[in-house]
Amino acid sequence: MRNQKGAAANDSSKHWKALLENIAEYATSVLDSNGHVYKWSSMARSLTGFTAKEIIGKHYSIFYSKKDIEKRLPQKILSTAARRGLCETEGLRVRKDGTLYWTSGMIVAIRDKNKELYGYARFSRDATREHEARRQRDEFLSIAAHELKTPVTTLNLYAQLLKDRMLLSRDKENLSMLQDIEDQSMRLVKLVNDLLTVSAIQAGRFALRQGEFDICALSAKTAKVMQKSGTHEIKVKCEIKGKVRGDPDRIEEVLVNLLSNAMKYSPRERRILVHITRRGRKALLAVTDRGQGITKQEQKSIFKRYFQAARKRGSAAGFGLGLYISAEIIKRHRQKIWFNSAPGKGSTFYFTLDLAK
């Protein structure tokens, strides 16, 4: 019996070693249910500088900064992985020699046949170069946006003034061309404002001006402005009374982004519905289109920065910032944003706001 157990343990050890050593690009390790390391790969040694002898038995929080340990981040990550099955991770970690590196990866909960927590598999890779490239890109876009803001705003102002003059002179031919100039300048204004918002989010300077406002009136006003494009009919159906709490300017920005997205991805379906209902102590807003929908593969990345879903021919290009910004605004209101979608059947985006007392 002992020989059988010994053989089984030996086979299990070989299986773990094969698993740890054959996952390309990832430093892999296995933790016990309390977060202590008990399996260690050669890739993990290369990434962190710790040998198996030095690290086995140590708590994996050894890779985190003092600040992250004080916030109990390692414990929170394990708790999330145990609850959800896995937890994706990204951030600064500490090597044996004290140097910092940026890592991305995940921690996966391991359970036995009785579904009891057995431990965790940890996969991480060095993403320092990617992170630095992103940081430099964001810094460049922030500088470019600040430099463009004044000339683009001025261009748009002059286009509006010229449009007003041509309306008086009834110069229809030039008025049509000027309308195109104004439309394109407005797209530039939105791009610059979006880049500045992203920059503020990344730098932690993104602030909200909380107050009470009429969400039904705000939605109706936003829909009226968006309908001026003449491409879609936007219906607002409000089934709540009273006000909500939040930043009205930022919530208007969310509505503009969701409506723009609905219009962009439903070029042949003219109707869009904004439906406002009550859910407990919250207002629930839903923006529904009957357009092309979102594929399952795209759904995983829909709120990521710079991500753009594939468009059908004839729909306008975007910058991949609107949904990311919308999600960040709603998160900072401590609310939820989500969606339901099916290819060929359209999409509905939802978000909540607290009702004012």
Q: What is the DSSP string of 56-97?
A: TTSBGGGGS-HHHHHTTHHHHHHHHHHHHSEEEEEEEEE-TT
Residues 270, 312: contact at Cβ < 8 Å? no
Look up the CATH number of the domain holding residue 163: 1.10.287
Same domain, 195 and 222: no
Give the end of a domain, one of 81, 98, 126. 126
Does the pTM exceed 0.85?
Answer: no
The pLDDT of residue 255 is 94
Q: Which of 130, 105, 131, 106 is nearest to 120 (CA)?
A: 106
Angstrom distances, CA of residue 308 to CA of 40, 145, 238, 261, 323:
38, 20, 30, 10, 9
The pLDDT of residue 10 is 45
The pLDDT of residue 191 is 74
DSSP tally for the chain: helices H, then strands E: 11, 12
The pLDDT of residue 247 is 92
The pLDDT of residue 201 is 76
Tokens standing for 101?
């590196």
Average pLDDT per 10 consecutive residues for the chain, totaling 357 residues: 39 53 75 93 90 94 94 95 92 93 92 90 90 76 70 74 73 69 72 76 79 95 83 91 92 92 85 94 95 88 79 55 90 94 92 93
Q: Walk across the sheet containing 271-279 and list its strands.
A: 233-238, 271-279, 282-289, 346-354, 337-342
The pLDDT of residue 313 is 45
Same domain, 148 and 241: no
- Across the chain, the runs of DSSP E, i.e. the strands, are 27-32, 37-40, 86-94, 100-111, 117-126, 211-213, 233-238, 244-246, 271-279, 282-289, 337-342, 346-354
Give the end of a domain, one of 160, 176, 203. 203
The pLDDT of residue 18 is 55
The pLDDT of residue 15 is 53
Label residue 29 exposed, middle or buried (CB < 10 Å: 0-12, 13-18, 19+). buried
Residues 102, 125: contact at Cβ < 8 Å? no
End-to-end CA distance of the chain: 69
Same domain, 75 and 198: no
Give the end of a domain, one of 203, 219, 241. 203
Reduced DSSP (H G I as helix, E B as strand, rest coil) percent helix, strand, coil of the chain, to 5: 50, 25, 25
Give the number of domains in the chain.
3
Look up the CATH number of the domain holding residue 112: 3.30.450.20
Same domain, 176 and 310: no
Residues 264, 292: contact at Cβ < 8 Å? no
Provide Rg for the chain, Cα atoms. Answer: 26
Same domain, 242 and 333: yes
The angle subtended at Cα 134 by Cα 68 and Cα 76, nearest 5°, is 25
Same domain, 333 and 238: yes
The pLDDT of residue 289 is 93
Same domain, 348 and 221: yes
Tokens standing for 303?
């709120």
Q: 288 is in which domain, residue-wise?
A: 211-354
Do β-strands 282-289 and 86-94 pair in parallel, antiparallel, or remain unpaired?
unpaired
Same domain, 109 and 6: yes
Look up the CATH number of the domain holding residue 279: 3.30.565.10
